[in-house]
């Protein structure tokens, strides 16, 4: 295995990990506030569609991004409305959102574009261009570091860098601000937060809206940066993989980055070597595709450390009377 | 409602025999079917007898692929003969049986439908209407009044494989399949055989997107697989992967290599960057069926190179990419395959391929 192959794998890893990263951080905010979010997949999909559709009509990827975020936030609010205001079952509401997104995107796409549930291909400014980081060309010839910097880090869409910045930002918000403390407290012991005079309902709405925004960026990245347009069901289970990554990371931001990079790398390796020959055994493609879930189950089962979800997760908050 | 869908008496007469036949138990189901059938009914009013009808699979008439080819064939028939036909776009899985039944009930003949998913409902309906001739494209129904049209995809793939190997400067070409099923392996196998025939030293990289139906609609993964193939030296990629192929063609364009489209002529998607397309002439199948009328020959019909069922696309979008050498070599292969002098191995016959397509 030469350096060029490693660079290619790492490049691919970063690109594949980015939508997972946004979605995983979205889940992090929501679940840390006590709202389980199975609907990540649906929000990702609806954002992918609306950003592609608006980017097509306006010719601007940025306007597409805003539309994707708006659509995703609307879906997040539906989830919030059902599970916070009406204290419904959060899992059922999330599943409903996934179904709604899968059906609605295709129907709307079909009636707008008549292309079998796709949007027309995007080109030019309707897509996020790859941008080069400073000194990328100058450093290209430096051994090892050169290709890593110039090819892996540089030359990605602006959304990739946004994703990487979102990790420290999430950490800072959750662990260094009053807002973050309250948000985490709402997910652990909402009654205590309520006693302190903070509105549990409002905090939880903030959390699902932030989740909506992050899913929106992830969806826009799928359809206007990685691909050039929307294809039905194009999220292809990434919302669920992100959920697995969230559990793998034990609901912590930096670990989320590690988890999505690991899962992204598994996919990149599976794409490069469909049947991975390890000398003694050959791992089939299907095994690589299943590995994120297997790892998550191992973590959940408590073989490696212990994954403890936020204590009040999944439970609607009812004020004592 | 009556005014819109024709007289109530007529509708009742149409449905009564079926209601008695099916008995009480299914009445509720029938009501539901009836309710959903109103959309279909709208098409039926004023139907002339023995006009042909066409049912598009999910994906719709203008899907830039399979169904649109069927539409093209039907339009060509209508223009050339001045005849009329009816068609319907299915909106959901549950409409299949009811759409076929309504067309048969209203006297349309033949009734043509696209997609292997129609096979199961057709099996039920075709038995109820022995005097109507049905045509299913891409599926097999073994009944005396059904023509099952299948395509020799491996032969078409062989031709574009030759084109790929001849256009490649790196001696490496690649294939991105959708879901890993025998049909897609037949594409891969034909492609690899063609590439190797044109250039014995060529290296063919084969990837499948996945083993679940999600593999048909994952352009992101298709794009990343293509990137991995490019890093291994591939400079021509053939996508037989449905919606995933959109990502493959896009990545090929972004990274400056050539791509090959599938099913319909996709050369126009990125003019000058799509080398050619492996065409499944669904339009010819529909045209033939409409032209032959109700008395057509039934049974399994194989649309191969000899019968114009598959082929490679050359038009103004890719003319500059096709050299005279390619034209000559591929033309010769076409003649040889059509005449039976050259046999392209079909993966589906014995689940093996002379060149590994794992």
Digit-coded pLDDT (tens) for B194-230: 999 999 999 999 999 988 878 888 899 999 999 999 9
How far apart, in whole angstroms, are the C-alpha atoms of residue A289 and residue A270?
Answer: 7
Please state the rounded mean pLDDT for residues A269-290.
81
> Is residue B273 scored above 50 in pLDDT?
yes
Please tell me the least confidently modeled range out of A21-30, B25-34, B300-309: B25-34
pLDDT value for B49: 54
* Residue B57 at interface with chain A, using a CB cutoff of 8 Å: no
Q: Closest residue of A to B56, CA-based?
A: A116
Q: Running DSSP on this structure, what letter comes out for residue B106?
A: T
What is the total count of domains within chain A? 1
Q: Which of A169-178, B34-43, B238-247 has the highest mean pLDDT?
A: A169-178
* Residue A312 domain flag: no
pLDDT band for position A277 (cuts 50, 70, 90) = confident
Distance separating alpha carbons of residues A272 and A292, to the nearest angstrom: 17
- CB-nearest partner of B217 from A114, A232, A285: A232
Which pLDDT belongs to residue B62? 75
User: Is A260 within the bounds of a domain?
Assistant: yes
Inside any domain, residue A64: yes
Measure B51 CA to nearest chain A CA, in Å. 26
CA A31 vs CA A86, A130, A144, B219: distances in Å: 18, 33, 40, 29
What is the pLDDT confidence band of residue A36, given thresholds at 50, 70 and 90? very high
Residue B44, pLDDT score? 47
Predicted confidence (pLDDT) at residue B18 exceeds the cutoff of 60: no
Rg, C-alpha atoms of chain B: 22
Mean pLDDT, rounded, for A116-135: 85
A130: closest chain B residue by CA: B254
Q: Assess B225–A contact: CB distance below 8 Å, yes or no.
A: yes
Residue A70 lies in a domain: yes
Nearest-CB residue to A227 (from B208, B220, B231)? B220
Q: Which chain A residues contact residue B224 at CB under 8 A?
A: 12, 15-16, 267-268, 271
Interface probe for B, chosen from A4, A10, A116 (most Cβ of B below 10 Å), is A116
Digit-coded pLDDT (tens) for A221-262: 999 999 889 988 899 889 999 999 999 899 999 999 999 999
Chain A residues with beta carbon closer than 8 angstroms to that of B231: 4-5, 8, 272
- Calculate mean pLDDT across residues A176-193: 94
Do A27 and A37 contact (CB within 8 A), yes or no? yes
- What is the pLDDT, as a whole number, of residue A274? 79
φ and ψ at residue B2, rounded to 5 degrees: -60, -45
Is A319 a domain residue? no
Please report residues of B whose CB lies closer than 8 A to that of A285. 180, 208, 210-211
Question: Chain A interface, mutation test: which of B178, B220, B264, B356, most A Cβ atoms within 10 Å?
Answer: B220
Out of B65, B210, B227, the one facing A289 most closely (by C-beta) is B210
- Among chain A residues, CA nearest to B60: A116
User: How many residue pairs bridge chain A and chain B with CB atoms within 8 Å of each other?
Assistant: 94
Res B42: pLDDT: 44
CATH of the domain at A266: 1.10.3470
- Over residues B136-146, the mean pLDDT reads 92
Specify the range with the lowest mean pLDDT, choosing from A110-124, B11-25, B275-289, B316-330: B11-25
- A247 found inside a domain: yes
Q: CA of B225, closest CA in chain A: separation in Å?
A: 5
Confidence of residue B39 (pLDDT cuts 50, 70, 90): very low
CB of B197 within 8 A of CB of B333?
A: yes
Domain that holds residue A100: 3-300
Within 8 A by CB and 6+ apart from B345, the residues are B154, B189, B190, B193, B353, B354
The domains found in chain B, sorted by start residue, are 2-148 (3.40.50.2300), 153-279+310-350 (3.40.50.2300)
């Amino acid at each position: 295995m030469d350096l060029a192959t490693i660079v290619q794998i790492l490049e691919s890893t970063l690109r594949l990990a980015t939508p997972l990263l946004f979605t995983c951080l979205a889940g992090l905010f929501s679940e840390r506030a006590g709202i389980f979010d199975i609907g990540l997949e649906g929000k990702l999909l609806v954002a992918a569609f609306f950003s592609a559709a608006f980017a097509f009509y306006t010719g601007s990827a940025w306007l597409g991004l805003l539309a994707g975020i708006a659509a995703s936030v609307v879906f997040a609010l539906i989830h919030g409305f059902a599970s916070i205001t009406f204290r419904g079952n959060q899992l059922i509401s999330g599943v409903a959102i996934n179904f709604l997104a899968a059906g609605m995107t295709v129907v709307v796409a079909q009636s707008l574009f008549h292309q079998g549930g796709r949007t027309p291909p995007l080109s030019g400014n309707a897509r996020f261009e790859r941008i080069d980081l400073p000194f990328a060309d100058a450093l290209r010839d430096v051994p090892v570091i050169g290709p890593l910097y110039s090819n892996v880090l540089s030359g990605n869409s602006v959304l990739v860098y946004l994703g990487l910045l979102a990790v420290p930002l999430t950490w800072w918000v959750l662990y260094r601000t009053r807002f973050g403390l309250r948000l985490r407290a709402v997910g652990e012991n909402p009654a205590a937060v309520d006693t302190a005079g903070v509105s549990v309902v409002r905090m939880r709405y903030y959390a699902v809206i932030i989740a909506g925004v992050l899913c929106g960026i992830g969806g826009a990245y799928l359809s206007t940066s990685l691909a050039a347009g929307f294809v039905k069901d194009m999220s292809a289970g990434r919302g669920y993989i992100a959920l697995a990554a969230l559990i793998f990371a034990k609901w912590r931001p930096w670990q989320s980055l590690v988890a999505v990079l690991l899962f992204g790398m598994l996919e990149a390796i599976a794409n490069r070597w469909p049947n991975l020959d390890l000398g003694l055994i050959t791992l089939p493609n299907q095994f690589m595709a299943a590995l994120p879930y297997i790892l998550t189950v191992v973590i959940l089962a408590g073989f490696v450390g212990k994954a403890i979800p936020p204590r009040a997760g999944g439970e609607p908050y009812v004020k004592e009377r | 409602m009556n005014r819109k869908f024709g007289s109530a008496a007529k509708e009742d007469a149409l449905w009564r025999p079926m209601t008695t036949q099916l008995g009480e138990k299914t009445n509720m189901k029938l009501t539901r079917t009836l309710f959903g059938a109103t959309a279909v009914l709208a098409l039926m009013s004023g139907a002339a007898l023995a006009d042909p009808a066409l049912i598009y699979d999910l994906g719709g008439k203008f899907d830039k692929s399979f169904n649109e080819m069927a539409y093209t064939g039907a339009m060509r028939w209508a223009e050339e003969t001045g005849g009329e036909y009816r068609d319907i776009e299915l909106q959901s899985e549950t409409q299949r049986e009811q759409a076929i039944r309504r067309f048969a009930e209203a006297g349309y003949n033949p009734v043509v439908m696209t997609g292997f998913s129609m096979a199961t409902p057709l099996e039920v309906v075709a038995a109820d209407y022995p005097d109507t001739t049905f045509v299913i494209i891409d599926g097999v129904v073994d009944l005396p009044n059904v023509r099952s049209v299948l395509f020799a995809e491996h032969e078409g793939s062989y031709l574009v494989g030759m084109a790929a190997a001849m256009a490649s400067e790196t001696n490496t070409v690649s294939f991105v399949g959708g879901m890993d099923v025998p049909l897609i392996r037949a594409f891969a196998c034909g492609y690899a055989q063609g590439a190797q025939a044109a250039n014995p030293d060529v290296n063919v990289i084969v990837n499948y997107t996945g083993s679940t139906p999600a593999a048909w609609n994952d352009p992101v993964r298709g794009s990343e697989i293509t990137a991995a193939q490019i890093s291994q030296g591939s400079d021509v990629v053939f996508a037989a992967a449905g919606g995933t192929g959109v990502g493959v063609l896009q990545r090929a364009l972004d990274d400056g290599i050539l791509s090959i489209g599938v099913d319909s002529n996709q050369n126009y998607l990125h003019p000058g960057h799509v080398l050619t397309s492996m065409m499944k002439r669904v339009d010819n199948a529909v045209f033939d069926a409409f032209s032959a009328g109700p008395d057509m020959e039934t049974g399994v019909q194989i649309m191969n190179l000899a019968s114009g069922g598959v082929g490679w696309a050359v038009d103004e979008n890719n003319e500059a990419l096709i050299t005279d050498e390619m034209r000559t070599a591929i033309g010769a292969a076409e003649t040889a395959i059509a005449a039976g002098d050259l046999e392209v191995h079909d993966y589906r016959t014995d689940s093996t391929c002379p060149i590994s397509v794992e």
